[in-house]
């Protein structure tokens, strides 16, 4: 009997590890789809009533999300790539030693001497392109599936975790909180501040306003300094070029508009999503994740830190399960978790229907 249980346990562990390895390769689009599906559940329910069907509502919303998220991302990538191309062209045509590279390329010497390396780089680029396409397809399909399934699918997945229900609620709550905090709190603020900065740069005639706006939005995650990491050097550069009026205007806009947008937006965005970690911890987690695995580490870092903080709080007995989701940095109410609202089978009466939004 004991031997049979051990064999069953090993089999289950091996199969679960294999399934985890399969999903690990696609963790980023899966996590993003789960977070966005959780955020848009209230919109899906409204569209369902308007369109008369859950699938139609999920399809419409998936298309809208792809357009509103995908188009800006692709546009940003194209702008940055075009800027890099301009820099390379300027270097090739410059009257400096670097300009010799143009002659090397024209003569084919580079291909002769480094053909194998160029082929490896081409294969890597092709592999990366295929990976991006696969990731986008997985994201779209998962987003649609989770939007159709709603909280029922969330609940089914959560109940499949082999842990105590109270601990499960808190882990799921921490996962959802991280998504809402990063996408709505951090991401929303960065998007607005970057857009405002880009408009200011364009109005003042600063070169590459879109690129600088993107960098300004990214700079908003730096604690203490924030967007000043970009607009302040730009203002100093204008002043050094003798454009004192434009420098003064940009300085005033930076102090009075770009930097203060955060103070206006954050309380409003906190109602939709707030990551209850100190800004310094979020920044360090993002940089650590980026250093570890690259760009996707910007979301993996804060997610692992938040889940780790929740696990330590559970181990220390803080915040009773089912009442609050406690962390080392504060506590988060656990209301809104679908599992808390799921009707128990076999009981009389009815319970409120589960939902994915708060």
Backbone angles phi, psi at 207, to 5 degrees: -70, 150
Model pLDDT, residue 136? 83
Give me the half-sphere count of Cα atoms (radius 13 Å) on the Cβ side of residue 235: 19
Phi and psi (nearest 5°) for 327?
-135, 175
Residue whose tokens read 């390769």: 25
Tokens of 43: 């919109």
Residue 330 has pLDDT above 50, yes or no: no
96-100, 138-142, 316-320: lowest mean pLDDT where?
96-100
Residue 199 and residue 187 in contact, taking contact as beta carbons nearer than 8 Å: no
What pLDDT is stored for residue 1 in this prediction? 57
Average pLDDT rounded to a whole number, residues 303-315: 88
C-alpha pair distances (Å), 337 with each of 142, 238, 323: 20, 51, 11
Helix extents (H) in 244-278: 244-253, 261-270
HSE on the CB side for 54, CA within 13 Å?
11
Beta strand segments in the chain, E: 324-327, 330-333
Decide if pLDDT at 267 tops 80: no
CB distance 334 to 169 below 8 Å: yes
175 in Cβ contact with 303 (< 8 Å): yes
Return mean pLDDT, the chain: 74
Over residues 268-279, the pLDDT tens digits come to 777 777 778 888
Contact between 181 and 273 under an 8 Å Cβ cutoff? The reply is yes
CA distance 153 to 172: 13
Helix (H, G, I), strand (E, B) or coil at 313: helix
Q: Is the CB of residue 338 less than 8 Å from the CB of residue 154?
A: yes
**How high is the pLDDT of residue 118?**
60
- Of 322, 277, 326, the closest CA to residue 303 belongs to 277
Q: What is the average pLDDT across 211-224?
A: 85
Residue 154 — very low, low, confident or very high, per pLDDT cuts 50/70/90? low
Q: What is the mean pLDDT of residues 35-48?
A: 84
321 vs 44: CA distance, rounded Å: 29
Task: Grade residue 99 by pLDDT with cuts at 50, 70 and 90.
Answer: low
Angle between helices 27-39 and 41-51 (to 10 degrees): 60
Q: When comparing pLDDT for 125 and 146, which is higher?
A: 146
- Residue 107, pLDDT > 60, answer no
Please tell me the distance from the alpha carbon of residue 299 to that of residue 285, in angstroms, as a whole number. Answer: 9
pLDDT of residue 248: 92
pTM of the model: 0.67
């Amino acid at each position: 009997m004991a031997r049979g249980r051990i064999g069953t346990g090993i089999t289950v562990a091996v199969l679960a590890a294999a399934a985890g390895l399969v999903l690990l390769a696609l963790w980023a689009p899966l996590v993003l789809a789960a977070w966005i599906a959780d955020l848009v559940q209230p919109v899906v329910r409204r569209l369902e009533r308007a369109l008369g069907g859950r699938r139609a509502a999920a399809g419409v919303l998936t298309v809208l999300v792809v357009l509103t998220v995908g188009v800006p991302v692709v546009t940003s990538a194209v702008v940055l790539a075009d800027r890099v191309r301009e820099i390379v062209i300027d270097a090739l045509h410059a009257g400096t030693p670097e300009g010799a590279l143009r002659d090397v390329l024209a003569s084919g010497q580079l291909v002769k001497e480094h053909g194998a390396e160029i082929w490896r780089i081409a294969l890597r680029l092709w592999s990366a392109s295929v990976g991006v396409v696969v990731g986008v397809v997985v994201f779209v399909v998962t987003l649609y599936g989770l939007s159709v399934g709603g909280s029922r699918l969330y609940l089914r997945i959560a109940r499949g975790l082999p842990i105590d229900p109270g601990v499960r609620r808190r882990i799921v709550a921490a996962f959802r909180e991280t998504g809402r905090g990063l996408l709505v709190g951090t991401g929303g603020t960065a998007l607005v501040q970057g857009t405002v900065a880009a408009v200011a740069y364009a109005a003042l005639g600063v070169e590459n306003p879109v690129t600088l706006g993107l960098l300004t939005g990214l700079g908003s995650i730096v604690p203490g300094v924030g967007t000043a990491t970009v607009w302040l050097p730009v203002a100093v550069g204008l002043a050094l070029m003798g454009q004192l009026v434009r420098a003064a205007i940009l300085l005033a806009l930076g102090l009075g508009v770009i930097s203060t947008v955060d103070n206006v937006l954050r309380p409003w965005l906190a109602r939709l999503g707030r990551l209850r970690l100190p800004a310094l911890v979020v920044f360090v987690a993002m940089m650590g994740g980026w250093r570890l695995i690259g760009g996707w580490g910007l979301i993996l870092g804060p997610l692992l830190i938040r889940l780790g903080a929740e696990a330590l709080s559970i181990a220390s007995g803080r915040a009773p399960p089912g009442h609050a989701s406690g962390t080392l940095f504060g506590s988060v109410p656990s209301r809104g978790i679908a599992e808390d609202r799921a009707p128990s089978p076999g009981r009389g009466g009815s319970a409120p229907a589960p939902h994915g939004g708060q």
